[in-house]
A and B are shown apart, each in its own frame.
Chain A
């Protein structure tokens, strides 16, 4: 039996994926152009070393702002076009994605996160949404390729591996806690995704900075010169992950309250509970690492990535292959 609304939802989702693919290519183009631009910047900087000291010597003006000087706005038109096309495609794709998600919810007559397919669809929707929202406040265009690529892969897995037809919720899931607990989990996951992407770039950038500090050439990934510094990336990752961590804490608590309603205990070390706990502890460790000498920087960056790996494991592996009470993938074993 085919649900016409669900069919429409699938079509919209596939169209959205097509646009995300275009966005991915355009973001990649933007990155490629950064590479040549970085080279031009480096050449210009080499020519200007003499004048730079002269500028620094003019500190006696009435106002002096200690903030680091902004990078000169020399972005080439071609690069700006690529980035603009990418963001436009991503935005239109997101609108279609939103339509697909809403239609799936209407087709099922409930919130669109009752099984793994729907969870993936909503989570990727939120990842792109949060990224687009963040773009209006911070320049995160350099993350576009990572985000659109990741979302494409996740949606690919979801449509091929997790896709199930619309089916009713089993009695255990019929609760308003489904709306709260799972939505907060999705939202938290989305923020943690963005944080992980930032930490990944941070680690690459830190590697380049170490190479530069050691006097070695860092020419292999020249485009990184146009990215924020590792410290700035680390701070951004931290700010995004604290939101994710707070939401994850709520997920844990809402889950405990729901478990108490449905299963008669708030905590029972069910496999999914165990992994939610593990993730929480890793991210708690990440927050502490930021304040521990020797762990700040690379150490905390890696911890963030390990935490995110645990998030993906919890979703992709624990749900499908582990035995437990959270058997809601909708997949027949």
Chain B
């Protein structure tokens, strides 16, 4: 990359090694290695290596994009686990080998761009180069002979090229002009922008946080680290970075397709109606949708998932209320058959755990089992298996029930039927006189993602620079034009020539137009000598 990416003139090509191979000292070796690293060929090979290195991450599930896929892959490929872990195949894009490739690429890029910036700054101040002695050898050339004043012709040519925004320099009986410096400027901006993006992502990544939280209708979430179901933070992130606002989910409206039989039950719209409150400000009613995140303080709130939440009251054998609350049910299929867990820790004599399904539109299969046939709440039914025993003392996952210390008392495979609840029959008696469970209602929950990424503005800025640079570097033609006028025996020989620096589809046309217009000007205003009638 030690020269304009599309320059093909030989003068930029680093000279190949001479026939003699002098003994190289450590400094020479280093210089040699540096030249190799910053050469165009190396950059090209690193680019191709980067493309190939990115492939495995799309074939094997990645921890960052698909953690459940990683678990499933590990289970189905136990033999390859050692190799996969050693090669960091679940974190390809942060792996040592992937990072090595792109870091080398960027070092190569910087090593190539810096000298080019220096060179370009000099070129921007310098005059166009001297006119080559043999213009006829250039790729675009035209020669015309006519009578007239050479000085005049050169002046007119110079003025014309200046009007066309060429940088022009006169060398005796010729003028040399160059345009399109913006091409190299754009190319350098493009590469610099890429470095800027990389640095912004690296540095900015340290200040980010991403948290997940499930909020049921009517519930309020307060932006504190403990309030998140899960949170991952950057290296420089402190708890003080969280702004203490609150967000209440008033209502989540979900619409499903009911008309188009080809798409029956497909979701059409998710709209969350929320109230947000930032300390020191009035509460605000806002709408949160899938493609319309909310900005609160320096965070963005996204609606990334939803499902049903059911509220229960459980009374133990003594009739004492031992549980009252709302639990989220995770959707398992397109018709929202959902799985949920209820835990009553303080039930007497032993804690009670229930795991079961919510069928929003329940229908009985021939086997007697229930299934859901539509995702909306048309005929909701809940069924549970019931367990008693120790619920454990460690941190609890609201979606799973660890039954190792428990005994199942209802639901298959036991002989006791599982309990069944629905809005029309909301109460059921637990087996073995354990108590009762009452379904208080079914609502929806929203799965929110809350992000804070201060580097976004920087990344966006560098992206704009990169794109602007890319477009100018690819579309602005850089070319040199020359005009030489030689006089001989009263005839004037006009030579027009052009050379493209990089790809320039319009070079021939540019030379032809320059010559045509210049000749036209000469005819219209041939100069003082022509105005004197000959022979008077």
Chain A interface residues toward B at CB < 8 A = 1, 62-67, 164-168, 170-172, 174-175, 177, 235, 238-239, 242, 245-246, 249-250, 253, 256, 258, 260-266, 268-271, 274-275, 277-278, 281-282, 284-285, 287-296, 310, 318, 322-325
Contact = CB atoms under 8 A, between A and B. Distances in A.
A67 B139 CA distance: 8
B291 A174 contact: yes
Interface string B370-398: 00000000000000000000000000000
Contacts of B136: 66
B47 A281 contact: yes
A106 B142 CA distance: 56
B44 A67 contact: no
Counting contact residues on chain B (CB < 8 A from A), the size range is: 35 or more
Nearest to A169: B268
Interface in B269-323: 269-270, 289-293, 300, 302, 304
Contacts of A164: 262
Nearest to B507: A67
A84 to B, nearest CB: 27
B471 A246 contact: yes
B463 A253 contact: yes
Interface string B40-61: 1101100110110011011001
Contact of B65 (A270, A292, A294): A270
Chain B CB within 10 Å — which of A270, A281, A310 has the most?
A: A281
B142 A66 contact: yes
A292 B41 contact: yes
B108 to A, nearest CB: 11
Contact of A168 (B139, B257, B463): B257
Interface stretch (B4-12, B120-128, B162-170, B525-533): B4-12
Interface in B54-109: 54-55, 57-58, 61-62, 64-66, 69, 92-93
Nearest to A267: B201
Contacts of A165: 262-263
A66 B140 contact: yes
B196 to A, nearest CB: 14
Nearest to B269: A171
A87 to B, nearest CB: 23
22 contacts: A1-B260, A64-B143, A66-B142, A171-B267, A238-B503, A242-B503, A246-B475, A253-B467, A261-B291, A261-B293, A265-B453, A274-B54, A275-B58, A278-B51, A278-B54, A284-B47, A287-B6, A288-B5, A288-B43, A288-B47, A291-B7, A323-B66
Contacts of A271: 58, 65
A121 B383 CA distance: 47
Contacts of B269: 171, 174
Nearest to B194: A284
A269 B456 CA distance: 17
Main secondary structure of the interface of B (DSSP, over half): mixed
Given A64-B142, A66-B141, A277 B300 contact: no
Contacts of A322: 58
Given A63-B142, A287-B6, A177 B41 contact: no
Contacts of B41: 292-295
A296 B41 CA distance: 11
B332 to A, nearest CB: 16
Contacts of B57: 269, 274
A264 B210 contact: yes
B65 A268 contact: yes
B262 A288 contact: no
Contact of A285 (B51, B58, B62, B92): B51
A170 B266 contact: yes
A269 B325 CA distance: 38
A249 B467 contact: yes
Nearest to A6: B262
Nearest to B271: A171
Contacts of B92: 269
Interface string B472-487: 0011000000000000
Contacts of B1: 288
A281 B50 contact: yes
B5 A287 contact: yes
B93 to A, nearest CB: 5
